[in-house]
């Protein structure tokens, strides 16, 4: 500050070049000074771990402190033949395949319906969004309780209706479904508010015009709402797929990846190799491969999304 004021008070003849020069230097310094604190943290705790994973994946398993032996691509060779790893990758994909459709369709339907309600929209938004602000552990405690055999609420009602009980958490065929149901209940609200916001961007004049042309409610949804909501829908799908691929918390806490490892997701496998087997080199290789897969899928999906957004006229 002081230097700038000085430069303004120097003689009129050389104030231009020197003042401009000094201002340029000040600008360089100010830019770096403001951006550096964030970037240092960002580099240390986001970029560096990626580089560290790539580097450590080339060494044999050892805890920090001990001497690690260079193993080249040996960890990657092992990983290729590791059936447990590929099974865990499949569980992650399966969770994504099962959770994405209901997490697009249900919030879409709810938003379409709520958008037709004149008063009290906030009440429904409250009901559908409230679970989203809860910590995962609360979700798991409550759903574990709901899913209990015999005295659990769900099985209790099934019995009362004369139906057979379902072994929600204990059977390989249903455990993943149970986690998906709990996840849909938990996170639906996020996609719901995205859809609701997208719906409220659609100009009402379009509906008015359609109404004068005699279009009924269903025709309006079919020919106006859904086409204009397509960009929102694709965006929600992309965000949902990426979020689902990162699943760990609720499967780990509700099922510990069981029964019999049948739901163990990729991140849990990485976690176990790193923190219970202490195979740091191998866990780093697993981390790096998983990292590359997620980044590749994200880049592909977002590139597709951008192409689609450019193709359709912006609303």
Partner 1 sequence: MTVQADQVGTPAAARPTAASAGRRRGRLRPGGALVIAVLVIAAIVWLIPFAWAIATSLKPDEETTATPVSWTASTVTFDAYDSILGRGDIFRWYFNSALVSVVVTGLTVLLGSMAAFAFSRIRFRGREVLYFLIAAGLIVPFQALIVPLFEEMDTLGLVDTYWAIILPQVASPIAVLVFKRFFDGIPRELEESALVDGASAWRIYWQIWMPLARPATAAVAIFTFVITWNNFIWPFVVTTARSLQTIPVGLSTVNSFYGAQYAQIMALAILGALPLLIAFLLFQKQIVQGISNTGLKG
Give the C-alpha separation, 221 to 211, whole Å: 12
Q: For residue 50, with 0-12 CB atoms within 10 Å meaning exposed, 13-18 middle and 19 or more buried, which class applies?
A: middle
Task: Say if residues 293 and 93 touch (Cβ distance below 8 Å).
Answer: no
With H, G, I as helix, E, B as strand and everything else as coil, classify residue 59. strand
The interface mask with partner 1, positions 102-141, x = CB under 8 A, is --------x--xxxxxxx-xxxxxxxxxxxxxxxxxx-xx
Nearest to partner 1 of 13, 63 (CB atom): 63
Q: Please pick, from the candidates 150, 214, 311, 313, the single residue that binds partner 1 as defined by CB under 8 A.
A: 150
Q: Which is nearer to partner 1, 27 or 173 (CB)?
A: 27
Positions 263 through 302 that interact with partner 1 (CB under 8 A): 267, 270-271, 273-275, 280, 283-284, 287, 290-291, 294-295, 298-299, 302
Regarding 239 and contact with partner 1 (CB under 8 A), the answer is: yes
- Contact between 200 and partner 1 (CB under 8 A)? yes
Instruction: Based on the shown chain and the rule CB under 8 A, indicate whether residue 197 belongs to the binding site for partner 1.
Output: yes
In terms of CB distance, is 41 or 73 closer to partner 1? 41
Q: In the range 56-95, which residues lie near partner 1 by CB under 8 A?
A: 56, 64
Residue at token pair 């019995």: 159
Stretch (H or E) spanning 201: none
Tell me the window of 10-18, 32-40, 74-82, 97-105 that interacts with partner 1 (CB under 8 A).
32-40
Distance CA 44, CA 52 (A): 11
Nearer to partner 1, 94 or 136 (CB): 136
Residue 20 in contact with partner 1, rule: CB under 8 A? no
Rg (CA), the chain: 27
In the list 177, 185, 221, 261, the residue contacting partner 1 (rule: CB under 8 A) is 185
Angle between helices 226-245 and 280-311 (to 10 degrees): 170
Q: What is the spatial distance between Cα 5 and Cα 174, in angstroms, rounded to a whole number?
A: 72
Binding residues for partner 1 restricted to 242-261, rule: CB under 8 A: 242, 245-246, 248-249, 253
Helix (H, G, I), strand (E, B) or coil at 70: strand
Tokens describing residue 12 = 């009129």
Note whether 218 binds partner 1 by CB under 8 A.
Answer: no
């Amino acid at each position: 500050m002081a230097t700038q004021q000085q430069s303004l008070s120097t003689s009129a003849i050389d104030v231009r070049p020197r003042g401009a020069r000094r201002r340029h230097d000040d600008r360089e310094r100010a830019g770096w000074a403001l951006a550096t604190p964030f970037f240092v943290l960002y580099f240390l705790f986001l970029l560096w771990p990626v580089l560290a994973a790539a580097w450590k994946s080339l060494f044999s398993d050892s805890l920090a402190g001990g001497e690690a032996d260079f193993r080249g691509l040996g960890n990657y060779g092992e990983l290729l033949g590791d059936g447990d790893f590929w099974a865990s990758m499949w569980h992650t994909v399966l969770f994504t395949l099962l959770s994405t459709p209901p997490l697009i369709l249900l919030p879409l339907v709810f938003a379409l319906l709520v958008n037709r309600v004149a008063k009290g929209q906030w009440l429904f938004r409250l009901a559908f969004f409230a679970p989203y602000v809860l910590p995962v552990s609360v979700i798991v405690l409550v759903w574990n309780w709901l899913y209990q055999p015999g005295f659990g609420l769900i099985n209790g009602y099934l019995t009362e209706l004369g139906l057979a009980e379902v072994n929600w958490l204990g059977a390989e065929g249903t455990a993943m479904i149970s986690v998906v149901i709990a996840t849909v209940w938990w996170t639906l609200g996020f996609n719901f508010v995205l859809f609701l916001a997208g719906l409220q961007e659609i100009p009402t004049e379009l509906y008015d015009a359609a109404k004068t042309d005699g279009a009924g409610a269903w025709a309006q949804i079919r020919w106006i709402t859904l086409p204009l909501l397509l960009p929102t829908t694709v965006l929600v799908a992309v965000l949902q797929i990426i979020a689902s691929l990162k699943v760990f918390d609720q499967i780990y806490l509700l099922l510990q990846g069981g029964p019999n490892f049948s739901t163990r997701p990729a991140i849990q496998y990485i976690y176990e190799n790193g923190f219970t087997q202490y195979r740091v080199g191998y866990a780093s290789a697993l981390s790096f491969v998983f990292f590359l897969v997620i980044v590749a899928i994200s880049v592909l999906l977002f590139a597709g999304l951008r192409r689609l957004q450019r193709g359709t006229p912006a609303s």
